[in-house]
């Protein structure tokens, strides 16, 4: 292998996290930085997914970067293309597009203790050395096809919603949709009017709450443009107003009494059939799975050309789907809305730390980090949106932005200290995880309540950072070098 370049930092991923890390590093005067992304476009999730109906499910005012306010959102919940364009615009605005190398897949990254550098390899046989390594590969990226028996025998068309087949016309077809998660609730209403018949297979219905999704009037956009401070205040007020979500999540009876009626109202106002209403009622506490929002999911399921099957799938036949009772549903196309490789993304196998172990081996199904970023055994590495990094307040972009601030400050401080390496102390990582454990235990995100991608192999909530947003913000804007072993 020939390593041609040595960078101050190499980032994987040109989504909101990677962009934030690069922009914040630039602000700290660290310029010899590059982003590699295997995608063809900037935008991460929003460049790689484009199924019909895709839009964010968090208000755009919050699902955006505080350092790059956008007064021009067309709706309160922006559609995919607009978010992708926004992120591309952020890269242009901060003049970093030259530092982003697209169509480049990272295949391996190894820490070299002697050199105190990361060695990073790509699928195109390029090799980089970097003092700091920042995997910002997201937490839901790789579309995961399920493996039902007989799947390869199916004679029709099949694809995953994350790899939507836009060349295939669904008009007039009978279509099976497997799944009822965050993607299915968006694309089912978008395709239902076009297809002859839609059969939705869902085993465990989830809570879907109403969504205040409206077009933003032009005068308001103009007002935000003219008065950016007012715009900022609106965002900050919305963030502050979301703080009580945390204590609510810690008191299950309160959470149920506040949220379940809204979910039931959403079903009742859209579904005429009483049996279907009952079947759609989830049996777990809202929040155990990611809460979902839609005004048209239940309406779509109530249409005459839609059948909902509340059974497991036994196998796929040549003609269609066979349910757990052995009934066959002949279809032209099967669309898998079955989610993403959250447990075992490829990148965990590709990063090797100080002990020669990969992240996958180190974690062994139980991911742990310090503040969702630093991992003992992996010096000079900051993972973005890693274990227990998700705040219940704000949004993923809010977290990406603040992690970017932390990482850039940490790197700046290390460079200024004259040391070459920083590794989070084992005790610091342990204490952090112990500190959040009590709160995690109080939340309704537990295996006895539901099966959820929030839970790791041992049933621990590996997603949420259960603290108030203002506390998280404080912790992510103050770097303590004493949390790290320097060398
Ligand atoms: C369909 C879908 C809808 C979503 N909707 C919402 C929503 O409404 N609200 C919300 O809060 N969150 C949503 N999410 C989660 C969303 O992923 C995050 O909000 C956010 O995009 C994470 O940003 P990121 O930059 O960390 O990662 P991503 O946006 O996932 O970007 C990661 C990038 O890393 C690149 N990459 C990965 N591995 C490699 C490699 N080995 N080599 C090179 N490049 C690599 C990928 O190509 C990708 O561009 C959604 C996710 C999906 C898949």
Q: 396 alpha carbon to ligand 1 midpoint, in Å?
A: 10
Q: 88 alpha carbon to ligand 1 midpoint, in Å?
A: 14
pLDDT attached to residue 341: 84
Name the residue of 14, 15, 292 whose CB sits within 8 Å of the most ligand 1 atoms, as the mutation to test its pocket. Answer: 15
The per-residue pLDDT for range 437-468, each reduced to its tens digit, is: 989 999 989 899 888 889 998 999 999 999 99
pLDDT band at 4 (very low <50, low <70, confident <90, very high): confident
> How far is 350 from 130, CA to CA, in rounded Å?
16
pLDDT attached to residue 144: 87
How many CA within 13 A on the CB side of residue 339? 17
> How far is 406 from 385, CA to CA, in rounded Å?
13
Q: 15 alpha carbon to ligand 1 midpoint, in Å?
A: 6
The per-residue pLDDT for range 130-146, each reduced to its tens digit, is: 999 999 999 888 888 99
The per-residue pLDDT for range 386-434, each reduced to its tens digit, is: 999 999 888 999 999 999 999 999 999 999 999 999 999 999 999 999 9
Task: Report whether 374 contacts 358 (CB < 8 A).
Answer: no
Sign, CA dihedral 170-176-178-184, equals: positive
Q: Is residue 319 predicted with pLDDT exceeding 90?
A: yes
Q: 16 alpha carbon to ligand 1 midpoint, in Å?
A: 8
pLDDT attached to residue 343: 81
> How far is 241 from 435, CA to CA, in rounded Å?
25
pLDDT attached to residue 142: 85
Q: Is residue 3 predicted with pLDDT exceeding 80?
A: no
Q: 406 alpha carbon to ligand 1 midpoint, in Å?
A: 20
Residue 289 tokens read as: 């799975």
Around Cβ 358, how many Cβ atoms within 10 Å?
Answer: 18
Task: Report whether 398 contacts 15 (CB < 8 A).
Answer: no
* Sheet containing strand 306-309, strands side by side: 157-160, 333-336, 174-178, 197-201, 306-309
Around Cβ 151, how many Cβ atoms within 10 Å?
Answer: 15
- Rounded mean pLDDT of 101-113? 98
Q: 469 alpha carbon to ligand 1 midpoint, in Å?
A: 22
Nearest atom of ligand 1 to the alpha carbon of 104: 43
pLDDT attached to residue 422: 98
- Rounded mean pLDDT of 81-91? 98
- Rounded mean pLDDT of 348-369? 96
Residue 36 tokens read as: 């590699």
Name the residue of 60, 103, 137, 346 whose CB sits within 8 Å of the most ligand 1 atoms, as the mutation to test its pocket. Answer: 137
Nearest atom of ligand 1 to the alpha carbon of 16: 25
Q: 141 alpha carbon to ligand 1 midpoint, in Å?
A: 5
pLDDT attached to residue 119: 97
Residue 128 tokens read as: 């980089």
What does the mean pLDDT of the chain come to? 95
**Mutual angle of helices 396-417 and 469-476, in 10-degree steps:** 30
Name the residue of 140, 213, 294, 373 whose CB sits within 8 Å of the most ligand 1 atoms, as the mutation to test its pocket. Answer: 140
pLDDT attached to residue 372: 97
User: 3-class DSSP state for residue 405?
Assistant: helix
Q: Which domains does the chain carry?
A: 5-142+341-486 (3.50.50.60), 151-212+247-336 (3.50.50.60)
pLDDT attached to residue 137: 97
The per-residue pLDDT for range 304-315, each reduced to its tens digit, is: 999 999 999 999
Q: 17 alpha carbon to ligand 1 midpoint, in Å?
A: 9
Q: Of all protein residues, whose CA lies closest to atom 30 belonging to ligand 1?
A: 138
Q: 72 alpha carbon to ligand 1 midpoint, in Å?
A: 22
The per-residue pLDDT for range 245-287, each reduced to its tens digit, is: 999 999 999 999 999 999 999 999 999 999 999 999 999 999 8
Name the residue of 41, 46, 51, 141 whose CB sits within 8 Å of the most ligand 1 atoms, as the mutation to test its pocket. Answer: 141
The per-residue pLDDT for range 154-170, each reduced to its tens digit, is: 999 999 999 999 999 99
Which H helix or E strand runs over 168?
none
The span from the first CA to the last CA of the chain, in angstroms, equals 27
pLDDT attached to residue 436: 95
> How far is 22 from 30, CA to CA, in rounded Å?
9
Q: 327 alpha carbon to ligand 1 midpoint, in Å?
A: 37
Nearest atom of ligand 1 to the alpha carbon of 107: 41
Question: For ligand 1, which residues put their CB under 6 angstroms from it?
Answer: 12-18, 36-39, 44-45, 48-49, 54, 56-58, 63, 105-106, 136-138, 140-141, 183, 340, 347, 384-385, 395-396, 400
Q: Of all protein residues, whose CA lies closest to atom 12 belonging to ligand 1?
A: 396
Buried b (16+ CB within 10 A) or exposed e, 195-217: bebbbbbbeebbbbbebebeebe
Of 297, 300, 257, 302, residue with least CA distance to 277: 302
> How far is 9 from 22, CA to CA, in rounded Å?
9
Residue 433 tokens read as: 């995880």
């Amino acid at each position: 292998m020939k390593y041609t370049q040595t960078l101050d930092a190499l980032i994987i991923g040109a989504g909101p996290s990677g962009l934030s890390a690069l922009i914040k590093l630039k602000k700290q005067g660290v310029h010899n930085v590059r982003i590699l992304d295997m995608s063809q476009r900037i935008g991460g999730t929003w460049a790689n997914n484009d199924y019909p109906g895709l839009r964010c499910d968090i208000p755009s005012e919050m699902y955006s970067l505080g350092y790059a306010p956008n007064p021009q959102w067309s709706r309160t919940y922006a559609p995919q293309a607009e978010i992708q364009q926004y992120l591309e615009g952020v890269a242009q605005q901060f003049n970093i597009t030259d530092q982003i190398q697209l169509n480049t897949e990272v295949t391996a990254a190894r820490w070299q203790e002697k050199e105190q550098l990361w060695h990073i390899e790509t699928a195109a046989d390029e090799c980089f050395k970097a003092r700091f390594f920042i995997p910002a590969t997201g937490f839901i990226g790789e579309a995961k096809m399920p493996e039902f028996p007989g799947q390869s025998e199916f004679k029709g068309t099949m694809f995953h919603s994350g790899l939507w087949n836009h060349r295939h016309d669904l008009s007039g077809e009978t279509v099976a949709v497997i799944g009822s998660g965050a993607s299915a609730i968006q694309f089912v209403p978008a395709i239902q009017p076009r297809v002859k018949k839609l059969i939705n297979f869902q085993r465990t219905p989830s809570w879907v709450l109403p969504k205040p999704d409206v077009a933003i009037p032009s005068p308001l956009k103009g007002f935000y443009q003219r008065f950016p401070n007012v715009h900022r205040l609106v965002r900050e007020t919305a963030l502050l107003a979301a703080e009580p979500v945390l204590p609510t999540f810690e008191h299950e009876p309160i959470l149920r009494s506040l949220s379940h009626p809204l979910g039931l109202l959403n079903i009742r106002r859209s579904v005429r059939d009483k049996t279907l209403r009952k079947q759609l009622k989830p049996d777990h506490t809202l929040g155990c799975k990611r809460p979902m929002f839609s005004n048209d999911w239940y309406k779509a399921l109530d249409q005459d050309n839609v059948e909902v099957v509340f059974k497991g799938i036994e196998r796929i036949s040549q003609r269609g789907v066979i349910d757990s009772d052995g009934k066959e549903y002949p279809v032209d196309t099967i669309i898998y809305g079955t989610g993403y490789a959250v447990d075992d993304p490829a990148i965990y196998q590709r990063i090797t730390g100080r002990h020669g172990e990969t992240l996958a081996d180190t974690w062994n199904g139980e991911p742990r980090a310090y503040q969702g970023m630093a991992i003992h055994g992996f010096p000079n590495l900051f993972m973005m949106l890693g274990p227990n990094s998700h705040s219940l307040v704000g949004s993923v972009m809010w977290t990406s932005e603040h992690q970017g601030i932390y990482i850039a400050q940490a790197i700046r401080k290390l460079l200024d200290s004259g040391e070459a390496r920083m590794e989070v102390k084992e005790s610091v990582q342990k204490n952090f995880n112990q500190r959040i454990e009590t709160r995690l235990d109080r939340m309704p995100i537990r295996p006895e309540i539901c099966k959820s991608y929030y839970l790791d192999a041992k049933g621990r909530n590996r997603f949420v950072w259960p603290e108030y947003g203002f506390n998280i913000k404080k912790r992510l804007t103050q770097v303590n070098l004493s949390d790290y072993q320097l060398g």
